[in-house]
Amino acid sequence: MNRDALLERVSAICLALPEATTKMSHGAHAFQVAGKKMFAYFTDEGHHNAPISITVKTSGRDEQAMLLEADPDLYYMPAYIGVSGWIGINLVRDEAPDWDHIEDRVRQSYRRAAPRKLADLA
């Protein structure tokens, strides 16, 4: 898939969640809930030396370390926000993206950012 097709697919997943919107933030497509907290970023190749990817929140450093160790070709530590528990998911590997897995990671990230009433709907 090319960059535009990947962005379209990521956007469809993110914007299907309750009160999700998108905007540009620090040169990346950012997805936020209820106009407040970010729950995902679509990163273009070269943005802070990252591959074309989606960046999502984890539960914290332990989960982040586990993901990085389990599949270092899929996951990476994103610049700047990685220290806050975010993880990058590479969308341009030899294998096609596992969209079910990506949707699950996006939903988990959304629930971490959303107010309780919205998190319960996702």
Our count of domains for the chain comes to 1
pLDDT tens string 19-53 = 999 999 888 899 999 989 999 999 886 655 668 99
Structural domain for 45, as ranges: 3-119
Residue 93: predicted pLDDT: 85
- pTM value is 0.92
When the pLDDT of each residue in the chain is averaged and rounded to a whole number, the result is 92
Question: 106: domain CATH number?
Answer: 3.90.1150.30
If one counts every other C-beta atom within 10 angstroms of the C-beta of residue 4, the result is: 8
DSSP E strand stretches across the chain: 20-25, 28-33, 37-43, 53-57, 75-76, 86-90
Closest CA to 99 of 36, 54, 69: 54
pLDDT (tens digit per residue) in 56-67: 999 999 999 999
